[in-house]
């Protein structure tokens, strides 16, 4: 069973896609009376017509998570126009702390997948409050940032989305690090197709995309949900997939004691290993900038951890 803590727009969309793909039974939990139940009914009716045989349930009771192999945590306040991810810090830290304890109580053997923003800090909160081994807690951000970088590059180069192979690491936020040196277009290095100015423009556009979407439709939904589903598949199907995601570091990339986006192998055991990249001095500086932002976020809520 795949559990979803939070039946808001991203949680409900991800649950719909997980159920539609027939990955496993789905349980949505939300404290808002009727919301999770209503979403479960709606999803169940959709998959009934398409012939997918998984069970979808909704509840306000955290004990419904019992037996979950994966629990996706989307509970919390969403960004509004003009807000940064860090603007959500204090309120969401309290919400995520509370629900993480419920995950540990009712689904102690699961892998926790953090989505709530500011994601890297919230992923650290989940790790601390569940007491899970570090490999059992992972955050969704890198896949989302990667999808935005690929979309930007394809628009600038006028090429198919399928032609791009790339990587985005670091903080899931304004200090994210799209890696142009590790990006190729049909096997051709990006650095041979775009000059430094164009690459910088693509990176800046990628960092601004979420703000633009939120200003126009009020929330980012489809791309984040897709990132969740891809990670759920990697875990549920033990795909050993190499993806960028938030994990707890103990010296890797010169960082210790926080969660941040890195390339890792995601499989049935969660974070199975972290892959090391030889970053340039400029890339190291940007990665460190993001790590410092996360460190400051953790420090700001330390009294409640």
188-215 tens-digit pLDDT: 999 999 999 999 999 999 999 988 998 9
- Closest by CA to 74, choosing from 215, 232, 273, 216, is 232
Phi, psi dihedral angles at 177 (to 5 degrees): -125, 90
Q: Which whole number is the average pLDDT over 275-297?
A: 97
Contacts of 273 (CB under 8 A, 6+ apart): 264, 265
Q: Mean pLDDT in the chain? A: 95
Q: Which whole number is the average pLDDT over 48-69?
A: 97
pLDDT at 86 over 90: no
Return the pLDDT at 85.
66
Return the pLDDT at 100.
98
Among this protein's residues, is 172 annotated catalytic?
yes
pLDDT-based confidence at residue 19 (cuts at 50, 70, 90):
very high
Return the pLDDT at 77.
83
Q: Which whole number is the average pLDDT over 120-124?
A: 98
Return the pLDDT at 82.
67
d(CA 251, CA 249): 6
pLDDT in tens, 215-230: 999 889 999 999 999 9
Return the pLDDT at 83.
66
pLDDT at 78 over 80: no
Distance in angstroms between the alpha carbons of the first and the last residue of the chain: 29
d(CA 229, CA 217): 22
Written as one string, the DSSP assignment of the chain is -EEEE--SHHHHHHHHHHHHTT-S-EEEE-SSTTHHHHHHHHHHHHHHHHT----EEEES-GGGGTT-SEEEE--SPPP-TT--GGGGHHHHHHHHHHHHHHHHHH-TTSEEEE-SSSHHHHHHHHHHHH---GGGEEE--HHHHHHHHHHHHHHHHT--GGGEE--EEB-SSTT-EE-GGG-EETTEEGGGTS-HHHHHHHHHHHHHHHHHHHHHHSS--HHHHHHHHHHHHHHHTT--EEEEEEEEEESGGG-EEEEEEEEEEEETTEEEEEPP----HHHHHHHHHHHHHHHHHHHHTGGG-
Set 129, 148, 172, 207: catalytic member: 172
| Cis ω before 118 (30° cut-off from 0) | yes
d(CA 78, CA 85): 9
All structural domains of the chain, each given as residue ranges with its CATH number in brackets, are: 2-139 (3.40.50.720)
pLDDT at 280 over 90: yes
Which residues, listed in sequence order, are joined to residue 3 by a DSSP beta bridge?
27, 71
Return the pLDDT at 87.
79
Please indicate, yes or no, whether the overall pTM of this predicted structure exceeds 0.75.
Answer: yes
Return the pLDDT at 168.
97
pLDDT in tens, 135-182: 999 999 999 999 999 999 999 999 999 999 999 999 999 999 999 999
Between these two residues, 50 and 80, which has the higher pLDDT value?
50
pLDDT at 264 over 90: yes
């Amino acid at each position: 069973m795949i559990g979803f803590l939070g039946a808001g727009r991203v949680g409900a969309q991800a649950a719909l896609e997980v159920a539609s793909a027939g990955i496993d039974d789905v349980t949505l939990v939300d404290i808002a009376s009727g919301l999770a139940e209503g979403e479960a009914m709606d999803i169940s009716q959709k998959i009934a017509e398409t012939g997918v045989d998984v069970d979808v349930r909704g509840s306000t009771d955290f004990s419904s998570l019992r037996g979950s192999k994966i629990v996706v945590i989307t509970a919390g306040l969403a960004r509004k126009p003009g807000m940064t991810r860090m603007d959500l810090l204090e309120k969401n830290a309290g919400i995520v702390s509370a629900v993480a304890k419920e995950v540990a109580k009712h689904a102690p053997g699961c892998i926790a997948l953090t989505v709530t923003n500011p994601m890297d800090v919230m992923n650290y909160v989940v790790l601390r409050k569940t007491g899970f081994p570090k490999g059992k807690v992972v955050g969704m951000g890198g896949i989302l940032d990667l999808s935005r970088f690929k979309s930007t590059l394809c628009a600038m180069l006028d090429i198919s989305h399928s032609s791009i192979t790339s990587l985005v690491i670091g903080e899931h936020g304004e200090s994210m690090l799209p890696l142009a040196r590790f990006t190729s277009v049909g096997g051709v290095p990006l650095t041979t197709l775009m000059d430094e100015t164009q690459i910088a423009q693509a990176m800046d556009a990628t960092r601004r995309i979420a703000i633009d979407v939120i200003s126009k439709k009020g929330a980012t939904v489809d791309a984040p949900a897709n990132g969740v589903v891809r990670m759920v598949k990697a875990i549920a199907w033990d795909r050993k997939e190499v993806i960028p995601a938030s994990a707890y570091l103990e010296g890797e990339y010169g960082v210790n004691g926080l969660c941040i986006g890195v390339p890792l192998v995601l499989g049935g055991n969660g974070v199975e290993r972290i892959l090391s990249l030889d970053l340039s001095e400029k890339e190291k500086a940007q990665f460190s900038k993001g790590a410092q932002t996360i460190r400051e976020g953790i420090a700001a809520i330390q009294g409640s951890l």
